[in-house]
Amino acid sequence: MVKLKMSVIRELSKLSECAMSKTFDEIAQKAEKILSEYSALTGRLEFSQPGDTWIARNIAIFSDQLRRLAKTARESNLLDAFEADAKPHPYDHKRILEATGWNDSSAPVLIKKWRRNPEEHPYTSVPDELRKEIFDYFFRHDVHGELENDDIMLLSRGINDPEYFRPPTIVNIALDVASKNGWFGYSDSLGHEDTREAIAALERVRRGQNSITAHNAAVVQGGTAGLHAVLSMLCRMDDKEGCVLAAPTYAPILDDVSHHFKPHILELSDDYEADFDKLREIVETENIAAVLISIPHNPNGFRNFDDHLDQLHEVCFKNGVFLICDEIIFDEQMSPAINPIDYPNLIVISSYSKSYSIAGLKLGHILARQDFLNDFYRHASTTYGSPPSFLYLTATCVASMERYARDGTDPNLPEVVTSQFSDPDLILEDFMLWRRLGAVYRDFQNLVVQACTEKLGHTGVEQVMGLDDPSSNIVLRVKGREPAYRTSMDIIAARNVSVMPIECFSPTHEWPRDLRVTIAVEPEELVLGYPQLIAGVDDIVAMETKAQWAHKDDLPWLEALGLTGKVKGINVWGRANRIQERLSQIFKFAGKSSVSESLRRVSTYMSLRQVWSSIKGEQRQALISDLTGRNDTDTPVKWSELIEYFLDRPGRLTDLPEMPDDIKLMLIRLSDDPKKIKENSPELQAVSLAERFQGISLSGQDLKIIRDNLRLFDREQDYDALVQSIEQLRAIEV
């Protein structure tokens, strides 16, 4: 089945090769054009001022990025990356699944139990108040804890790779000037007046509302801290006790809300759609202080209330409820429609982290009506004093440059900044080239995902969400209902690629198997890591699809042995890369002293081919000896799988000398590959069909075994032909 999948992939690749090569070539051409413009800009630098040196430094960095991007776009082969040998995590799979040796004593006991055995301790057994701990465990103890290594491909960051996506040069200049001038003192609790003026000027342009002034803006310490400040203020304003928000969502947001209000969860559908009528009902019937929405929604990037903004604000306004917009990134589709002049009950919390690659600076601003910010002044002064004055110049410059990029008017940068350059126009051109660099790379990363969808088929992926999201992430919906967290650990173990599972977003119930994937990573890492991720997902789903059928038919056998209760929650028919663990568990639970006896029993509901690839030496010989005895007619021996395993390796058929010739002949007949039969056993090729089956007594159980084996390889149609041949032989004998 794997070979068939690869052949289909190759055909898809051929069909789309021209269009894709042209599109990737356009990416390379755009990158090379920006590279040439950077080169021209370098020629204009006089290096008489420190700003020129900063531009030169960053041009060298950005030029290297552009060369790498162009090279990767021209030379990347996603099919080769998909077929490349997996590079597993240094830790063995069992250790990762069981978190063996993890220094996680700080985690709650229930979370540790869930992490190690989600089958026995399902997600729904974790109390609401502890679900944020799953998010913390993932980052603190797993991905950036015990599992961290030099080669791991981090597709779980949530932001642009900070080592590749550098901020614009204006940020370096602003921080340098602030440091040289010693701007480290206290300041106004809403932020420096010039900074707030620059923010207001930007917001007038990008939200199309000329009435916005500095009185509507306040500087805060990033999105998370800004939201916390707003929530803590609102909970002190009156006796309203509830806050509405949609879930699944970013776990720290839900946790923060729960510290200030009673969360009223608007459960999204499995497709992340919000029920506006349900939201209206909650606002109108409950004691609600605020409704919180994210733009775009995390993790899937949907704009759940895009068509209901007017209605949403109207119902909030009528009921004296604040509408809080956590603007993770300025969304060109939804953000321009919202402002505190048209929506007086609106509070926008805007972060600079993802837009300008400065997550570590913790910088952002609030946009709200003036009377709210007048009250907020006191709250800010009491709770944290003021934003860091060291960052005001950075916020001023970023807002001014963003406005310039949108309307082309003079950014009015402070003289303390323009004096850093031999020609102030240099920094304007540098900023515009930086924006174009980001746009080209966003096109590249989206194209990689689209190409993988078209070329690779995504046999294990049900849906890709958020590709049009302006943020750095997409969501893969994986087929099946296994826990997403366990799936993410499987992928780390098998491929050394980390992605963020849906359980880190605190869904209210068992959710489809969604994985959030950060695609804003270095180009080389993306074209290797993303296809490897897809390949890992495909392997998992293929194994589960095959094993689910085996589970259904083997359950009576398990019940007869009295093992149903003992194996419950072990998922012994699970993934191929857990076979050795499953074998050990079954040996233990079955209480068998004989390895061969246990292996024989395991083979009845686990792929014999998987078992064979998981054992060595004496265990293999014991398995051969047990199975070739053919004494237990109740045991459905899957010889066809083992035969195909050996037929894949020329000259290896003789490794099964003890197999009865009649079974060998019959199953080689079923292998449906005359070339391999001839290579492996020429004398069998000459045997006629009648001779192969003559003298073989096939009971109903034998036929069931053959049919079962054919089902495993999607060859059930061959069964009717086989039965017909057998009936003809029996008629001849009679």
pLDDT tens track for 618-646: 555 555 554 444 333 333 344 444 444 44
β-bridge pairing 262-267 and 288-295: unpaired
Mean pLDDT on 563-585: 36
Q: Name the more confident of 377 and 650.
A: 377
* pLDDT at residue 620, rounded to an integer: 53
Tokens coding 406: 């949108």
Whether residue 389 is predicted with pLDDT greater than 90 in this model: the reply is yes
Tokens coding 541: 């789903």
Mean pLDDT on 462-490: 87
Q: Name the more confident of 724 and 730.
A: 724
Per residue in 609-624, pLDDT (tens digit) is 444 555 555 555 555 5
Mean pLDDT on 184-197: 95
Per residue in 585-595, pLDDT (tens digit) is 443 433 333 43
pLDDT band at 211 (very low <50, low <70, confident <90, very high): very high
pLDDT band at 467 (very low <50, low <70, confident <90, very high): confident
Tell me phi and psi for residue 199, to 5 degrees: -65, -45
Q: Name the more confident of 656 and 153.
A: 153
Q: Name the more confident of 43 and 692.
A: 43
Q: CB atoms < 10 A from the CB of 503, how many? A: 27
Mean pLDDT on 17-30: 67
Tokens coding 130: 């502890």
Which range in 77-91, 201-215, 321-335, 550-564 is most confidently predicted, on average pLDDT?
A: 201-215
Question: Which position has the token pair 């099964």?
Answer: 656
pLDDT band at 654 (very low <50, low <70, confident <90, very high): very low
Pairwise CA distance, residues 336 & 314, whole Å: 18
Residues 6+ apart with CB under 8 A from 264: 242, 243, 244, 245, 282, 286, 288
Whether residue 668 is predicted with pLDDT greater than 50 in this model: the reply is no
* pLDDT at residue 536, rounded to an integer: 87
pLDDT band at 240 (very low <50, low <70, confident <90, very high): very high
* pLDDT at residue 617, rounded to an integer: 56
Cα–Cα distance list, 630 to 639, 658, 668, 702 (Å): 11, 11, 18, 11
pLDDT band at 478 (very low <50, low <70, confident <90, very high): very high
Q: Name the more confident of 539 and 60.
A: 60
Whether residue 308 is predicted with pLDDT greater than 70 in this model: the reply is yes
Mean pLDDT on 170-188: 95
β-bridge pairing 242-247 and 217-220: unpaired
* pLDDT at residue 455, rounded to an integer: 62
Is the CB of residue 583 less than 8 Å from the CB of residue 573? no
User: Which contiguous run of DSSP H or E holds residue 113?
Assistant: helix 109-116
* pLDDT at residue 169, rounded to an integer: 96
Across the beta sheet with 473-478, the strand order is 461-465, 473-478, 513-518, 500-501
Where helices occur in 262-414 by DSSP H, the ranges are: 276-285, 309-318, 370-383, 392-407
* pLDDT at residue 464, rounded to an integer: 87
- For the ranges 13-22, 181-190, 356-365, 691-700, which has the lowest average pLDDT? 13-22
Is the CB of residue 359 less than 8 Å from the CB of residue 162? yes
Per residue in 484-542, pLDDT (tens digit) is 999 999 999 989 999 999 999 999 888 999 999 999 999 989 988 998 898 888 888 87
